Amino acid sequence: MARIISFSKALNEAMTQEMERDENVFILGEDVAKMGGDFGITTGIWERWPNRAFDTALSESAITGLCCGASVCGLRPVAELMFADFITVCYDQLVNNAAKLNYMYQGEASAQMVVRAVTGGGIRCAYHHSQCIEPWLMNIPGLVIVAPATPYEAKGLLVASIRNNNPVVFLEHKHLYNVKGEVPEELYEIPLYEAHVEREGTDITIVAAMSMLKFAQKAADEMAAKGISVEIINPRTIFPLDKETIKESVAKTGRLIVVQEGPKVMGYGAEIGAMLGEELFEYLKAPIKRVTSLDTPVPFAPGMEDYVLPHYEDVITACNEVMAY
């Protein structure tokens, strides 16, 4: 039965119900046990399972290394990176180890682990607590990057990620934690590697993940008032990307806008744009547009941060431009 709960609660429920179901699942990270996590996402888990929830030293390499070793023994670790930016201090374990284990072990064992990473800007915490890190991981075959945009997705995608046998970096956008939505009480999975068509349309395709989905939805409403029909694709899994769903949409609309929170250079927008240029060139009716942050670190002062992050008005401008081309 579905109720209205927050994105945070949906994540907590996914972990709790998976731990009830499978005793190989455990959580670890900085302050995830007794405190329930810096953002409160793991609240209540340690109280129920004091031997399956572990506070660690500030040692991201040890945390992710432990996940790799434990997962090849058949356990299913769910680690928390308090801020996704900290991935730089455990990058080796994710890139050189987790992503390669199934390949090295030829399918006999794999890094069946989830690293939950708190991502994104807008909380006035400057460049070490605000970055969108997905481009840093998107050219590492073997890794999976999952990016929910709604409470319903938060639960279903986290359950699927915990059950998946590949190493999953699960991105949780800070701005979504308090968003509420309908979430079934029972366990369910949303399949990985499948994008979701959030709204059907015929004139423009907008691809938008995580917190950027709300920009796309608002823009679609605004353009609809002007008689322009926008189709919205939410990738859900950012890597490996569901290319087919995006191609089908753009083959229909002929126009693409990608809205991504991180810097423009080499983001998922770049990959989607290159893919369409290669495979769908003759269908394009207008140049591909990207609405992104500026190519700067994320600054602290609110006015500066707002200047750098993507602006909603830029989405409308992009829509008008692709229609006018």
Taking CB under 8 A as the criterion, the residue among 20, 22, 47, 92 binding other proteins is 92
Helix axis angle for 243-253 and 268-279, nearest 10°, is 60
For position 71 contacting other proteins by CB under 8 A, the verdict is yes
Q: Binding other proteins by CB under 8 A: which of 22, 59, 194, 306?
A: 59
Nearer to other proteins, 108 or 282 (CB): 108
Contact string 1-40 vs other proteins (x = CB under 8 A): -------------------------x--------------
d(CA 92, CA 65): 9
CB count within 10 Å of CB 199 equals: 16
Smallest gap, in angstroms, from Cβ of residue 160 to other proteins? 11
CB of 154 to other proteins, least distance (A): 21
Q: Is 193 in the site for other proteins (CB under 8 A)?
A: yes
**Contact positions with other proteins (CB under 8 A) in 240-279:** 240
Bridge partners (DSSP) of residue 171 are 117
139 counts as binding other proteins under rule CB under 8 A: no
Neighbours of 153 (CB within 10 A): 24
> Least distance to other proteins from the beta carbon of 61, Å?
5
- Could you tell me which stretch among 72-80, 168-176, 274-282, 293-301 binds other proteins (CB under 8 A)? 72-80
Number of residues that bind other proteins (CB under 8 A): 43
From the candidates 129, 173, 196, 311, give the one annotated as an active-site residue. Answer: 129
Task: Give a three-class secondary structure readout of 255-267.
Answer: CEEEEEEEECCCC
What's the DSSP call for residue 292?
E
- Which stretches within 131-212 are classed as H helix? 134-137, 151-163
Q: Which two tokens stand for residue 146?
A: 């999952």
CA distances from 297 to 82, 115, 257, 266 (A): 19, 24, 23, 15
Nearest-angstrom CA–CA distance, 130 and 123: 7
129 is annotated as an active-site residue:
yes
Distance of alpha carbon 133 from alpha carbon 135, whole angstroms: 6
Q: Which residues contact 282 (CB under 8 A, 6 or more apart)?
A: none
Q: Rule CB under 8 A: is residue 108 a binding residue for other proteins?
A: yes
Among residues 88, 96, 178, 296, which is the contact residue for other proteins, using CB under 8 A? 96
The span from the CA of 98 to the CA of 36, in Å, is 26
**Binding residues for other proteins (CB under 8 A):** 26, 51, 56-57, 59, 61-62, 64-75, 77, 92-93, 96-97, 100, 102-110, 112, 141-142, 144, 164-166, 193, 240
Tell me the catalytic residues: 129
